[in-house]
Amino acid sequence: MSATRMKALGRDHWERCWPDIKPVLGHRFIEEVDTSALDLLKTRLPSHLAPSSINHRLSLVSTILRFMWKRGLLASVPYVPMESVPTTEPVWYGEEERDRLLDGMFRLQPRWYLFFYLTTRLGLRTGEVYAVAKSRIRDIPPQLIVDRAVQRGNKERPALLGTRKNNRSLKLSLTQDTVDAIRWHIGQRYSEEEFLFSIDGTFPRHLDSHKRPLRTVQRALGLRELSHHQIGRHSVASQAATSGHSIKAIQAQLGHQSAQSTHLYAHLGDQAQLRLVEALRPVSPPHVNVRSTAPDRQNR
């Protein structure tokens, strides 16, 4: 990992996976790690791990094997037997649920209103919302520059302010309602000199300060208790796809490098499917306002 440009958050994730791998594969030479060794690893992993968590461990081993192969230290990369992960139904807020959440947030948790307004309107990640600063807001034309994100900390280090995912910056156009929400937030003195969602310039170590107000409002209004990621990126992409916006436009808004990633977020609602069926309706269906063609009716 020291030979990569991996960010702190990704490094933390893989370092948590490594203790489960080391007892089984740590004593082997790299060329001894074959498919049978990976099958053995799967049997030795903790029984409480779900298929996706097992795949995280296997992905780390696969990455190391490919790293060594690309540098000529391994003849070939063995087959890595990944676990089958069951598909789950996508969950996201429609526009009506989103509006109820924002209304409840404004009444019950006004300090966090703008946080979730930017989340549900722009589809920003959690760390990107925490990193929103006054210096990144342009007035003419109204734009938000998203080039930084706060990376979650751990017991050894605090939360860090770094570049956003993929090290790519975004220029997101702001509508008047979003600009007004930002001005209201600043006028209420909910922000500090630079960052909109930090009182003293520091950030919560685990980036979880927004979770309690979100749950409070969801339970008070009887809304589904979805996560920040689901009410933000998944909902923005799904609402846009249902409204008929192109995948390219949604991809640009979310800042994905690949449209394949966008497809994982953009779910179609019933309205989009109904519009498709309506668009394919015949101009004059024969069965509308005509007499039956059944034989028994014709013979009468």
Query: What one-character DSSP code corresponds to residue 136?
Result: G
40 & 103 share domain: no
3-state secondary structure (DSSP) of residue 115: helix
3-state secondary structure (DSSP) of residue 165: helix
Per residue in 12-58, pLDDT (tens digit) is 778 889 999 999 999 999 999 999 999 999 999 999 999 999 999 99
- Report CA 116 to chain centroid distance, whole Å: 14
161 & 19 share domain: no
Own/partner pairs, 203-206, CB within 8 angstroms, 24+ separation: 203/130, 203/150, 203/158, 203/159, 203/161, 204/159, 205/152, 205/153, 205/154, 205/158, 205/159, 206/152, 206/153, 206/159
Structural domain containing residue 62: 8-70
Kindly report the CATH number assigned to the domain that includes residue 160.
Answer: 1.10.443.10
pLDDT value, residue 115:
97
Per residue in 254-300, pLDDT (tens digit) is 998 888 888 888 887 767 677 777 777 788 777 777 666 666 555 55
pLDDT value, residue 260:
86
The answer on pLDDT for 174 being more than 60 is yes
The answer on pLDDT for 168 being more than 90 is no
pLDDT value, residue 280:
77
265 & 199 share domain: yes
CA separation, residue 102 to residues 37, 80, 175, 188, 250 (Å): 51, 45, 17, 17, 22
pTM > 0.85: yes or no: no
60 & 97 share domain: no
Mean pLDDT of 159-187: 92
Mean pLDDT of 143-154: 92
pLDDT band at 138 (very low <50, low <70, confident <90, very high): very high
Mean pLDDT of 234-249: 91
241 & 201 share domain: yes
Residue 216: CB atoms within 10 A of its CB come to 15
The answer on pLDDT for 153 being more than 90 is no
Average pLDDT, the chain: 89
